A and B are shown apart, each in its own frame.
Chain A
Amino acid sequence: MIPELGHFAVILALTVALAQGILPLIGAQRGIASLTAIARPAAVMQFLLIALAFIALTAAFLSSDFSVLNVWQNSHTDKPLLYKVSGVWGNHEGSLLLWVLILALFGAAVATLGNNLPTVLRTRVIAIQGLIGVGFLLLLVFLSNPFERVFPVPAQGNGLNPLLQDPGLAFHPPFLYIGYVGFSIAFSFAVAALIEGKVDAAWARWVRPWTLASWTALTIGIAMGSWWAYYELGWGGWWFWDPVENASFMPWLLGTALLHSAIVVEKRDSLKAWTVLLAILTFSFSLLGTFIVRSGVLTSVHAFATDPERGVFILAFLVVAIGGSLALYAWRAPALKGGGIFAPVSREGALVLNNLLLVAATSTVFIGTMYPLFLDAISGEKVTVGPPFFTATFVPLMVPLLAVMAIGPMMPWKRADLAGTLSRLKIAAALTVAVALVTLYLSGVDQILAVLGMALGAWLIFGAATDIAERTKLFRISIGESFRRARNLPRSAWGGAIAHAGLGVAILGMTGTLSWETEQLQIMRPGDRVEIAGYELEFDGVEPVTGPNYDAVRGTFRIYRNGNLIDVMRPETRRFSDPPMVTTEAAIRPHNFGDLYAVVGESNGDGGYATRIYHKPMINWLWIGTLVMAAGGLVSLTDRRLRVGAPARRAATASPDLRAQQRAT
């Protein structure tokens, strides 16, 4: 009964989305108030219906209702509660339901929070959001029904892929989707602006909080996925340039570019057509990512089961959404009149450079991801593009970007004095050179890339600190006065500096772990010792353990430093039976700026075990850095100019028709 309610709710949501997508657009075009009035209640209704469906599917997973095909295929009664819940989105159909839920949530958010938007613009944004919803709901209802029943009812489920049974990965998809789907709002705003033929500072101010929120969520989502790969896959890597990873990384890069170009539209009334194009492209790459992951055009190590029929549907949807919006762009964008002019050396100029480099970087990732497919399509030749390609193309684009990143925020709008700006950064530059020299001294000339990486990371951090110091006139006026200025700085200035410094910290982490990682791979017997990075690890043997839905072999390592026992590490190899699979649970201990990382592997048959022990210097800086970046996004989101008059404050006073609507459901 409950699954049927869910199924019914999804079908109703599709019809509501159709009404939400079509009628208000006509209303806005012809000025028919009765039709435009449909937009807001329809958006809220669509969200409530999809939420109902989502609750129904979650209930089926929690009660292990194996009469539902999806639950039978992906769950098991022995599975811990957390993974019963995460099992809802750990499969194609359920993750699509989560996708449309978030899409509808964003649509409903614009409907309920967007009181300060001009009615026509708001109506069009909600309608376009509805049309995107139609596309995904069609896919859900006709090709990916999560509520399909099986008969006779199986007694036990197949279980969730054990690799996905992990707290880190349980919450990775929701964050990723909030990021992906959140960009749909920027897309809807862009398309609405093209229909109206008007982009102004107010438009940019409305787009920015949505883009910021999405960007922040996507940052967290990508970091979680990378963290999961680090500790779960058992080889200590954190980024593989896998097509699925690239699919999430490309919207992030473009979203970053969009965040920055929207600033120029808002402050300087310039780069309008470009910003609209970026907003379209950012969401287009989110859609393209969906296509890559779900259609099976590219084989990937961690894609869901793929289906060519869905591929055809998603491709058709891409044509309508991306092709349609870009055609609209070609038609309408020439009418968007640019405003402020600026010299090449200026804040605007720096932001244009930022955009060019980020778009170029996105292109290299895109080419690397799609090249095998295209070559195959043209000539039938088959090639692989491995990490060497990405290292050789992506990294050189990042170096100038990072170098300019510390300078850009210090430049004034319109026209900047480069020498003057650089002279204000001389303390930061001196500190950066000091970091480079210390690195050079400690690691030698053959580690020149390490020196470059550490210098760039330090440059970003010191540059961000200088930015704040300059704005607060630190040491030039009294400390108390500086403190007062710091409190009154716009939150977006703080957010930007924090995010830039966060990237610096992450770069230091990447450089440290790539340059100074050490590893020991060997067969160990109980009592054997191995030395790594100044630690001694004694292997104590293994013991069998039984988990809730797996059997495991647990190894014990005693860690000694200068002869003193300081810690014990217990890595596991888990053997799941439903479905049959072995996973490694690395033991990870943070010590002295780095991680000790131990994995116990196969037995060699006479008492020895294959063990892998790594020392990963500074790897935690990578995660901390990304969290700091996300924190910067959140701080910027609390900026007064985004808050005042905008969203939250007026949320309490929903319009009467809306309240009636909510009471009715």
Chain B
Amino acid sequence: MRLRYLIPVLGFVVLFIGLAVGLTLKPREIPSALIGRPVPVFDLAPVKGRSIGLSTADLKLGTPVLVNVFASWCVPCRQEHPLFMELARTTDFKIYGLNQRDEPDDAARWLDAFGDPYGRTGADISGRTSIDWGVYGVPETFVVDGNGCIQYKHISVLTREILEAEILPRLRGEKHVPCEG
């Protein structure tokens, strides 16, 4: 038996191990690992053309905030964007945008075209900060309490139902989870 004919089956063994471990991970349960944890330490410059950046200190100013991870290349982000626009127009809640791995010009053009609901934006060009936040797929939306403690995380497109049932109560300070340190 010649060794090169073994390569496909060995490749499959590696794949199998990855899939088997993957099955135990359950990406839908990721939020539980982060909830009740402090936000990671970061300090980002704003998206091109905006003046106010985003850092850890900005999330500890006493009022709960919404942090939305978005990118111009992320198609589902367009779907949820009107909801943030509406929220910015009709409420006083603070919405911050974390722009993941984007070209500065694309991100600026995207916000110009679809509207900018964000009080602060952080341009995470390398994607490093998003990884610290445990971002699995863009878009994701976090609720952070006034002390920089993560309260809630939603993966993929934000719907009106989730907004009303999960996000708004937490922005009002309900369902509060104490921070673990």
A647 on the B face (CB < 8 A):
no
A330 contacts B134, C-beta separation under 8 Å: no
A299 on the B face (CB < 8 A):
yes
Closest Cβ neighbor of A376 among chain B residues: B25
A311 on the B face (CB < 8 A):
yes
Instruction: Tally inter-chain residue pairs, CB-CB below 8 A.
Output: 115
Binds A, one of B47-55, B73-81, B144-152, B166-174: B73-81
Residues from chain B with a CB closer than 8 A to the CB of A580 are: 161
Q: How far is the CA of A331 from the CA of B157 in the complex (A)?
A: 48
A240 contacts B26, C-beta separation under 8 Å: no
Closest Cβ neighbor of A311 among chain B residues: B23
Given A235-B78, A384-B136, A386-B74, A315 and B27 contact (CB-CB distance below 8 Å): no
Closest Cβ neighbor of B17 among chain A residues: A377
Contact flags A510-528 to B (C-beta < 8 A → 1, else 0) = 0000000001010000000
Select one of A240, A281, A301, A387 contacting B156, CB under 8 A: A301
A308 on the B face (CB < 8 A):
yes
Name the distance in Å between B170's Cβ and chain A's nearest Cβ: 22
B8 contacts A387, C-beta separation under 8 Å: no
Residues from chain A with a CB closer than 8 A to the CB of B22 are: 297, 373-374, 376-377
Name the distance in Å between A182's Cβ and chain B's nearest Cβ: 22
A154 on the B face (CB < 8 A):
no
A494 on the B face (CB < 8 A):
no
A318 contacts B76, C-beta separation under 8 Å: no
- Which 4 pairs across A and B sit closest by C-beta, in order of nearness? A326-B9, A377-B21, A297-B22, A373-B22
A381 contacts B131, C-beta separation under 8 Å: yes
B60 on the A face (CB < 8 A):
no
Q: How far is the CA of A467 from the CA of B60 in the complex (A)?
A: 69
A-B contact pairs, 25 of them (CB 8 A): A233-B75, A233-B79, A235-B79, A237-B75, A280-B8, A296-B26, A297-B22, A299-B137, A299-B155, A301-B156, A315-B16, A315-B20, A319-B16, A323-B16, A326-B12, A329-B9, A334-B1, A370-B18, A373-B19, A374-B18, A381-B131, A382-B30, A384-B100, A521-B114, A604-B89
Residues from chain B with a CB closer than 8 A to the CB of A297 are: 19, 22-23, 25, 27
B18 contacts A373, C-beta separation under 8 Å: yes
A141 on the B face (CB < 8 A):
no
Name the distance in Å between A591's Cβ and chain B's nearest Cβ: 23
Q: How far is the CA of A160 from the CA of B181 in the complex (A)?
A: 45
A78 on the B face (CB < 8 A):
no
Residues from chain A with a CB closer than 8 A to the CB of B156 are: 299, 301
A24 on the B face (CB < 8 A):
no
Contact flags A362-406 to B (C-beta < 8 A → 1, else 0) = 000000001011101100011110111000000000000000000
B138 contacts A384, C-beta separation under 8 Å: yes
Q: How far is the CA of A301 from the CA of B136 in the complex (A)?
A: 13
B8 contacts A330, C-beta separation under 8 Å: yes
A327 on the B face (CB < 8 A):
yes
Contact flags B20-61 to A (C-beta < 8 A → 1, else 0) = 111101111010000000000000000000000000000000
Contact flags A34-73 to B (C-beta < 8 A → 1, else 0) = 0000000000000000000000000000000000000000
Q: How far is the CA of A580 from the CA of B15 in the complex (A)?
A: 39
Closest Cβ neighbor of A292 among chain B residues: B19
A330 contacts B1, C-beta separation under 8 Å: yes
B127 on the A face (CB < 8 A):
yes
Number of B interface residues, CB 8 Å? Answer: 48
Select one of B1, B73, B131 contacting A386, CB under 8 A: B73
Select one of B23, B71, B75 contacting A235, CB under 8 A: B75
Residues from chain B with a CB closer than 8 A to the CB of A295 are: 23
A496 on the B face (CB < 8 A):
no
Name the distance in Å between A256's Cβ and chain B's nearest Cβ: 19
Sample of 16 more A-B contacts, CB < 8 Å, known A298-B27, A299-B156, A330-B5? A280-B8, A295-B23, A296-B28, A299-B137, A315-B23, A319-B16, A323-B13, A327-B9, A330-B1, A373-B22, A383-B127, A384-B138, A388-B73, A388-B101, A580-B161, A602-B86
Residues from chain A with a CB closer than 8 A to the CB of B26 are: 296, 308
Name the distance in Å between B116's Cβ and chain A's nearest Cβ: 13
Name the distance in Å between B64's Cβ and chain A's nearest Cβ: 24
Residues from chain A with a CB closer than 8 A to the CB of B161 are: 580
Q: How far is the CA of A3 from the CA of B21 in the complex (A)?
A: 38
Residues from chain B with a CB closer than 8 A to the CB of A296 are: 26-28
Closest Cβ neighbor of A298 among chain B residues: B27
Residues from chain A with a CB closer than 8 A to the CB of B86 are: 602
B113 contacts A519, C-beta separation under 8 Å: yes
A610 on the B face (CB < 8 A):
yes
A322 on the B face (CB < 8 A):
yes
Residues from chain B with a CB closer than 8 A to the CB of A237 are: 75
Residue numbers of A with Cβ under 8 A of B are: 233-235, 237, 240, 273, 277, 280-281, 284, 291, 295-299, 301, 308, 311-312, 315, 318-319, 322-323, 326-327, 329-331, 333-334, 370, 372-374, 376-377, 381-384, 386-388, 519, 521, 580, 601-602, 604, 610
Name the distance in Å between A502's Cβ and chain B's nearest Cβ: 26
B5 contacts A323, C-beta separation under 8 Å: no
B82 contacts A610, C-beta separation under 8 Å: yes
Q: How far is the CA of A637 from the CA of B16 in the complex (A)?
A: 36
B135 on the A face (CB < 8 A):
yes
Q: How far is the CA of A382 from the CA of B30 in the complex (A)?
A: 10
Residues from chain B with a CB closer than 8 A to the CB of A233 are: 75, 79
B136 contacts A372, C-beta separation under 8 Å: yes
Closest Cβ neighbor of B8 among chain A residues: A326
Residues from chain B with a CB closer than 8 A to the CB of A299 are: 27-28, 136-137, 155-156
Residues from chain A with a CB closer than 8 A to the CB of B101 are: 386, 388
Q: How far is the CA of A240 from the CA of B62 in the complex (A)?
A: 39
Q: How far is the CA of A386 from the CA of B25 in the complex (A)?
A: 21
B2 contacts A334, C-beta separation under 8 Å: yes
Residues from chain B with a CB closer than 8 A to the CB of A331 are: 1
Residues from chain A with a CB closer than 8 A to the CB of B21 are: 377
Q: How far is the CA of A381 from the CA of B27 in the complex (A)?
A: 12
Residues from chain B with a CB closer than 8 A to the CB of A315 are: 16, 19-20, 23
Residues from chain B with a CB closer than 8 A to the CB of A273 are: 5
Name the distance in Å between A615's Cβ and chain B's nearest Cβ: 15
Closest Cβ neighbor of A234 among chain B residues: B79
Q: How far is the CA of A302 from the CA of B156 in the complex (A)?
A: 11
Residues from chain B with a CB closer than 8 A to the CB of A298 are: 27
B5 contacts A329, C-beta separation under 8 Å: yes
Name the distance in Å between A350's Cβ and chain B's nearest Cβ: 23
Residues from chain B with a CB closer than 8 A to the CB of A384 are: 100, 130, 135-138
Q: How far is the CA of A383 from the CA of B78 in the complex (A)?
A: 21
Which of B9, B26, B78, B134: most chain A Cβ within 10 A? Answer: B9
Q: How far is the CA of A662 from the CA of B25 in the complex (A)?
A: 49
Residues from chain A with a CB closer than 8 A to the CB of B134 are: 382
Name the distance in Å between B72's Cβ and chain A's nearest Cβ: 10
Name the distance in Å between A235's Cβ and chain B's nearest Cβ: 5
B23 contacts A308, C-beta separation under 8 Å: yes
Residues from chain A with a CB closer than 8 A to the CB of B78 are: 235
Q: How far is the CA of A273 from the CA of B134 in the complex (A)?
A: 44
Q: How far is the CA of A602 from the CA of B22 in the complex (A)?
A: 39
Q: How far is the CA of A301 from the CA of B134 in the complex (A)?
A: 18
